[in-house]
């Protein structure tokens, strides 16, 4: 809760226990080549790099950056990087803000703000299931 009631609410501190659980969960998925819980360059996140065999040859990196807060707010950012230097990004968020409802999605190709209002499950496992399912649809579309 903010000290001054007129201040906007915040996401609060990072939930390191949930981040460690998320990293362990993603490590068991064949989708990912590498999963790092709170690496030195992103102490507030889990970084999961996709196995590039799921993507066409022009993709040089595909990754998730997941931040989860003690308030159960979160940010899950997916990014594809291409040989051309371009990228394709989207983001699922739950946090206080002035651009959307607390739960919202920043659509591709650039995760623009404002996003679209959305609803997410409360449990982190179910949120990940929603996100991974949508990303599986993206990956399948490359091959259909």
pLDDT in tens, 122-141: 999 999 999 999 999 999 99
Residue 5 falls inside a structural domain: no
pLDDT range class, residue 82, cuts 50, 70, 90: very high
What's the structural domain count of the chain?
Answer: 1
| pLDDT value of residue 9 | 58
Residue 2 falls inside a structural domain: no
Of 112, 120, 78, 64, whose CA–CA distance to 95 is shortest? 120
Average pLDDT over residues 21-27: 97
Residue 9 falls inside a structural domain: no
Residue 7 falls inside a structural domain: no
pLDDT, tens digit, for every residue of 86-98?
Answer: 999 999 999 988 8
State the residue for tokens 């990303």: 135
Q: Do residues 72 and 84 lie in contact, with contact meaning Cβ atoms separated by under 8 Å?
A: no
Concatenate the DSSP letters of all residues of 17-28 into one string.
HHHHHHHHHHHT
| DSSP, res 114 | S
| Domain boundaries, position 70 | 16-143
Average pLDDT over residues 108-129: 94
Average pLDDT over residues 75-80: 98
Average pLDDT over residues 101-109: 94
| pLDDT value of residue 3 | 47
Triad 38, 42, 46: Cα angle to 5°? 45
């Amino acid at each position: 809760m903010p000290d001054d009631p007129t201040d906007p609410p915040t996401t609060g501190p990072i939930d390191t226990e949930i981040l460690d659980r998320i990293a362990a969960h993603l490590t068991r998925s064949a989708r990912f080549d590498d999963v790092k819980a709170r690496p030195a360059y992103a102490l507030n996140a889990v970084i999961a790099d996709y196995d590039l065999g799921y993507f066409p040859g022009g993709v040089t990196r595909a990754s998730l950056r997941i931040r989860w807060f003690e308030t159960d707010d979160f940010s899950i950012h997916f990014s594809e990087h291409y040989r051309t230097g371009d990228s394709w990004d989207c983001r699922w968020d739950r946090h206080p803000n002035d651009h959307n409802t607390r739960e919202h999605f920043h659509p591709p190709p650039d995760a623009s703000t404002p996003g679209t209002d959305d609803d997410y499950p409360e449990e982190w496992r179910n949120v990940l299931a929603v996100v991974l399912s949508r990303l599986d649809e993206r990956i399948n579309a490359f091959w259909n």
